[in-house]
Structure 1
Amino acid sequence: MYRVLDQLVQKGYLLESFGQLKTNGRPPKLYRINSKFIHAIGVCITWDTIGLALVDIGGNLVARKTLGSATLLSPNEALEKISAAINTWVSEYACSESLLGIGVSAFGPIMKDRGILSHGHHKPSQLWDYVPIKDLLEASTGFPVVVDNLVDAFMLNELALKPDLLEKRVAYFLLDMGIGSAFHALPAKQTTSDTSSQLGHMVIDFHGNPCVCGKTGCLETFASAQSILRRLSDVGGTQVQRAEDVYAAIQACIQSPEWDSKNPQFLEIISAFVAGMTNYIQIMEPEIVMLGGRTVDSLSLIIDEVINRIEEMKQQQILPAKLEIIQTNTSEDALMRGSASIVFRRELELSS
């Protein structure tokens, strides 16, 4: 056993030290993973930006780069830039042997087993519909690639930062231009491919508006960023806009002198959020609910009211009294770390 471990120490995978335990024989050696030697690349492809980072197993960003907007770059242009950055880092940091793979998080839905960005209703343009990103990136870099949803990456980042939550049942709701969800529960044999779901496409109104997914009355027809804007400003159309413009316009509506918190459309948005979230909570029975996304970050008037109503249902014993709501970090760095965590969990079968 010592010979095997010593070889891993020599290669840099492990660090060793002598323990302080009192024994009659030779003092024991203690080993730990060398966080600076094991790496993964985390790539995020969102509605507004494409970014990547070289991340060590301790969660530190060794190098990072933002390439531009997915609305301005075609898949071929983006993949060319991503591949070039990865190849540069592999050479610059001499990490070809320590790089376990590339984790890509992207807008859903995704054909995860094949690594294909599928079905274009949440893409910045039709150019991003049915892109076999796994095969293309593996061919251009030579490293294994795993592709997952943005919401899974955000949840993995939080679990890595808060390992005490690994023993709990955790639901993650990403409230943004679209609405997604992910779920974590032991046994840890469950993979990230099993966790994400389409909370935004839960039907909550049989007589509601048509949804981009093809159904009618989905949660997203009430509570996605563009739906919130249309309801509060009576803006028609479904044209794709930059997320920052959509959220700025929502803020302008809420901050206008004519704003009334008893606006029927506003109350309908709140009710839709609460209905979708409580349905999910009552089905999946999480102990922790994490909330993330730009709706959480910038529309506190909406989120605070949603949380207040959930707290009221806890007091009425409609929902479990011990249910905890946590607001999370959804920065680009968090997403890159979470994307790399997809690789760490798959390759090393780590829980954190």
Structure 2
Amino acid sequence: MAEVPATYRERLAQFRILEEKRFELIEELLDKLEKCEAQLAQTKLDLESEQNVRRTLQAEVVEAKEKESALSQRQARRPFVLVLIDADADGFMFQDKYITRRAQGGESLADELLIRLREYLRPLYDDADSLDILVRVYANLEGMANFLVRQDKVRNLGQLRAFATGFCGRISSFDWIDVGVGKEGGSGRKVRENLSFYTSNTHLRHILLACSPTDLPPTLLSTLPLPKLTLLESSPLPPSLIALPLSTTRFPTLFIAPVPKSPRPRGRNGPQLQLTQQEDPEGGSTWLVIRPERSKSQGAGLRRRGESEDDNSSLSISIGPDNTVSVDSGRRRRLVG
């Protein structure tokens, strides 16, 4: 058994030891309490910070949803389809039944093009009939007119301009842009530039493209939304385009079918002669027209450049029903009775 203190001083010393231990315990408890209070205060600050961040994120989410909804509503109000046509490219010359009828032919072409576009878009989009359709036709009118004059399809540049004016005036969103006489590829360059510009537009729903495959380099195609792109096909596409996930379609009622390329036999004195019939728009009679044959590539090049041929290459002889002979050298016409 522990020895019991005998004197009061010994007993007082024991009480002092117990009192010191009690104070040490109290100090330890107070230290822990202060640390817990500090941690609690920090936790409250962290919680408030997290709450503020969460509220901010919630507000941003609500704002983003509102913007997305507003954007969707704007896009739903005016989505559009873009149609780019390089009329100087091989296989995309419009048919004679449109070109030869001046302004009336241009209006008929616009109507027919709109019908064919709606027919193509209906299986793709439920709102195809309400989509805006923007059509841009690019061509060197002077070069095309020179080519068509030599083909006896129009008489001068004015008739072709009337055709283009009728096309533009028929539908407000249809435009025919004259790229002028310039270097090769003027129309193709315009098509590429507009293609790059419009593909970033959020209102764009689909693109239909009529141009030469050479105007679609891989560097350009890699930047385009291919699921939205459809190529108008006039002749077989090269393997580089066939391998891509591209949609294609044809509008045979609009464009002249390209002539298959084949070697042309030539005689000793130059190209073979071509015999055709032509209706006289003034008298209603039929003329026989004799002219040298030209290759398709020559015709397309002349349309782009607007160049004139020499007298021999543009010479044509027409024989009327009353044996009247007309000799047309491209610059002048002489009648022989």
TM-score norm. by structure 1 comes to: 0.29
Superposition TM-score, scaled by structure 2 size: 0.30
